[in-house]
Chain A
């Protein structure tokens, strides 16, 4: 029975995650989903590769975080970028598109400073020294 429940939870997670797709609109990419048959489409910047949805998470009750691979970039050090789109789940309004994680490609040597995601005093904070991002968002 436990296995059955586990399988059900896994399947529902997969279905949930698969609600998102990446669509190419001319030469740009959009993160797309449907909610109550309404289409929502969010532009996602890429850095030279084809982007890919990685996973979806909730922050609190209303903030949706969709993590995606945004591609690799660089001229002598190749860095893979993962970003996250924050969406207000009630209004489906895009709040921000933010750096989530960086990975070095094979053969590249560099001290990477990762973006810092934290929640303190009911406030989401994202600080990325690499790109100068300093984002704060109150969680209601």
Chain B
């Protein structure tokens, strides 16, 4: 019945508003649409609203948190697959959530809007209005314009405004990169920042059956389309499409029929990458001396010398202008880690010097150092899944007070940075980095949720014996007595960017 009424109203509208016989008089004709629409660059929250991991605005499953009036964010992309509004993917630019990426909702109905859209000069973008007057202000003129006799004024307004609202976002699509299926990206936003869901998340959902492969959309290449159906509290469903890169790591865990479909399509449509496994140099920037090795798809003992040369050159870069010996300037050194190293080099440096300073004294064996690397990687992935899409292992390592070796009063960060390649802890940290690439972790099904550990001689208030984990690396257990670290899974914490990264 609702559909019949809606159809009647839309028919009435299209016949009367846009047919010549009942065209509005000059005094009430809407202003001509500008050739180019203003692309929203920022949003500003005007009322408390939800902030979500995906462009689905019901329930709590994808809730990242709450945004408050005054919070501001940069617009990354827009999703128009909603009937009563649109979703904006944004990166927060103010307050403690700075750098976090997520989705906010912008309703068609002005009374339900909790954000406002801003242009590049911070002016509020007014949504196009069908007339200079609203129903109720001059009912005779309004009725002449809408032609909807006998229809409640608020329903008339919603229909006309909805149409204008949709038209605005159709025009906006022409100004942005159209990703298809109602998804539009701001130009110039790197894909790794604006991607709609991480490959890992998508493959996890494929493996649990929450997403289905959609081969009709597949046109060759390494990225495959998957669809997910969301159902809101009122029972309305929307379908969203996600693209994920196929790799052996993920293919082993998915249902047989999907794996077969991907394998056969890959053979037909996929041109192998020229440098398989090598990170995109445009995203990474230049390599420092000897660091091309970090781009290799696999690392083994034969790469030790190259990694050693690379680590030496990275440390030299970190110390540029930062002093030497015991008088290294911590601010300068930490800033250099970001400004002089590309993101893969940042990861390598963070892994090696953190394992040096935190667990070098416990090696050999190397497993304690490798487990420190695993915690860094887990923290990075936690941060990325919470919307800090550009977070890396260095961001995790330098978060204040987390890894004690980086405290300003602790000597270990200096030792780790200035030690050369003959230092046994440095040697062990490079060996551990190679071992880390080839390690199978077990001992708990929640090993990917180990974000916390402490030495056996401290007693933090967050420790929880029920969450203790005894990690097993390549079948080898870590020490359970004496000098060691005690690891915990899933202790609540919040990631935040440090002040040296500029992120």
Contact = CB atoms under 8 A, between A and B. Distances in A.
A112 interface: yes
A88 B71 CA distance: 13
Interface in B470-503: 485, 491-496, 498-500
Interface string A43-66: 111111100000000000000000
B32 interface: no
B63 to A, nearest CB: 5
Contacts of A91: 69-70
A40 B458 contact: no
A77 B407 contact: yes
Contacts of B452: 48
Nearest to A83: B96
B236 interface: no
Given A73-B401, A75-B455, A92-B70, A130 B460 contact: no
Interface size class of B (residues with CB under 8 A): 35 or more
Contacts of B331: 129, 132
A118 interface: no
Contacts of A110: 407, 409-410
A28 B494 contact: yes
A76 B401 CA distance: 10
Interface in B369-388: none
B70 A77 contact: no
Given A46-B493, A133-B499, A113 B408 contact: yes
A41 B68 contact: yes
B96 A105 contact: no
A51 B356 CA distance: 32
A94 B68 contact: yes
B493 A47 contact: yes
B48 A41 contact: yes
Given A75-B453, A130-B408, A26 B462 contact: no
A22 interface: no
B409 A111 contact: yes
A5 interface: no
Contacts of B457: 76, 107
B312 interface: no
Contacts of A105: 458-461
A74 interface: yes
A71 B496 CA distance: 14
A75 B69 contact: no
Nearest to B100: A43
Interface in B184-217: none
B401 A47 contact: yes
A104 B278 CA distance: 45
B383 to A, nearest CB: 12
Contact of A45 (B48, B63, B496): B496
Interface string B384-425: 000000000000000011111101111000000000000000
A23 B498 CA distance: 25
Given A27-B492, A75-B404, A75-B453, 18 more contacts: A28-B65, A41-B66, A42-B95, A45-B496, A48-B491, A48-B492, A49-B461, A74-B404, A75-B454, A76-B455, A78-B458, A92-B69, A94-B70, A99-B400, A107-B457, A110-B410, A111-B409, A112-B409
Which 5 A/B pairs are nearest by Cβ-Cβ distance? A93-B70, A132-B499, A48-B462, A45-B494, A73-B401
Interface of B: 48, 60, 63-66, 68-71, 94-97, 331, 334, 358, 400-405, 407-410, 452-455, 457-462, 485, 491-496, 498-500
25 contacts: A26-B64, A26-B65, A41-B48, A43-B68, A43-B97, A46-B494, A48-B461, A48-B462, A48-B491, A72-B461, A74-B454, A74-B458, A75-B402, A75-B454, A76-B405, A76-B458, A77-B404, A78-B460, A79-B407, A81-B401, A99-B400, A107-B458, A113-B408, A130-B407, A132-B334
